[in-house]
Amino acid sequence: MIKVIPALAIAVSLMGCGSSTSSKSTVSASVAQTHYEALVDPAWVNTLINGGNPGVAGTPSTYPGKGYVIVFTSWYPRYATNEISTTGAGLPFATDGHIPGAIFLDTYSIETGPTSEYGSGYASPSDSHVKELSALQSFFAGMGITKDKTVVVYADDDISTMTAGRIAWGLLYAGVEDVRILNGGYKAWVAAGNAVETGTTAWSPVQSFGVTSGHPEYMVSTSDLYGVIKGTNASAMIVDDRAWDEFTGASNSYYWWFDEKGRIPTAKWIGDWNDISSADAQSFMSFQEADYKWRQAGFTPGKKMYFYCGGGARSAMYTFYAYMMGWPAANYEGGWYLWATDHANPRETGIPGS
């Protein structure tokens, strides 16, 4: 996870935010399978929690009707004070309010740990890595999540798109078949005049997540990256979604627990996390705008995008966004931290072609 102060988060000029009603017809037909339904608006969620079912006029028609869980996720308590919560007690979730029935999730909880960015930062790349697949599935079952339930994720901070995107990707990787992000986050929910609930909530564990092998295709390994670098895999490309200064090797961003600069060889820069977010980081840019920008920059849905960032959060968000667009993608979990701290791995610096 990377945290950005608000001034930095709005430093880049951004395009318009996304919409859950985006039309498939306006995006190139070469996109194989879009999942635009994964980005929902407050009205969709409000209908859901008020008993909407498929086939009834005015209800969310894409809801499969197998039950749902609404997850509010936040990195801040553990990042700032190492406070880990499953109820939201003493946090804005409980004191200021949340979507009725939502449960609280510490964003770092899906990682291997035990350390986080609190204090001295991660002790090793393995600590920042998402839990092993079966452990992750068991963890989600402890929250009351199964592979068949619809899970709606939202956040309320200065990097909400990344915060929610990180968890949405984790759920998708684990094997949840219907993962949604509330576009606009909690701010959009309140602005729409919807009901707000205060106080704590509790997880309702289930015995089994459900039988599934998950979706390992949404994670990429170091050996996979070497396949691209060595030219033995021409069907994929390495995509850097860090800041430009990180890409060129001029900066290591805010990562105080390791000091390595540069990029993975052959990587192509797509922009930082906030280049697909609204200025307030609550909404995503439209799928149509992203499709146009990515193609203009030389990316194509004909090649699988191996996203990486500093540790895995920004690239998780990008991978889930590409999944919604129908572009094949996978997350290099551990990112530059994992790659660069193994000094046997090659690196590049500077502006490509200069």
Order of all β-strands in the sheet with 304-308: 268-269, 236-240, 304-308, 329-331
325 in Cβ contact with 37 (< 8 Å): no
Which of 309, 319, 313 has the alpha carbon at shortest distance from 35?
A: 319
pTM above 0.85, yes or no: yes
- The distance from CA 191 to its chain's CA centroid, rounded to whole angstroms, is 23
User: What pLDDT score does 114 carry?
Assistant: 92
Reference 313, options 128, 172, 184; nearest CA is: 128
Give residue 54's pLDDT.
Answer: 74
Both tokens of 232, joined, read: 């033995």
Residues in the chain: 354
Closest CA to 105 of 84, 90, 122: 84
Rounded Cα distance, 90 and 138, in Å: 27
Burial of 159 (0-12, 13-18, 19+ CB in 10 A): buried
Query: Does residue 242 contact residue 261 with C-beta atoms inside 8 Å?
Result: no
Q: CA-CA distance, 11 to 103, in Å (whole number)?
A: 32
- pLDDT at position 8: 30
Question: Tens-of-pLDDT digits for all 354 residues of the chain?
Answer: 555 433 233 222 222 333 333 333 334 444 468 999 999 999 999 999 999 877 777 777 889 999 999 999 999 999 999 999 999 999 999 999 999 999 999 999 999 999 999 999 999 999 999 999 999 999 999 999 999 999 999 999 999 999 999 999 999 999 999 999 999 999 999 999 999 999 999 999 999 999 999 999 999 999 999 999 999 999 999 999 999 999 999 999 989 999 999 999 999 999 999 999 999 999 999 999 999 999 999 999 999 999 999 999 999 999 999 999 999 999 999 999 999 999 999 999 999 987
| pLDDT value for 59 | 74
The half-sphere exposure of 125 on its side-chain side, counting CA atoms within 13 A, is: 16
Say how far apart CA 190 and CA 98 lie, in whole Å. 9
Q: How far is CA 114 from the centre of its chain?
A: 21
Cα torsion 210, 324, 284, 270: sign: positive
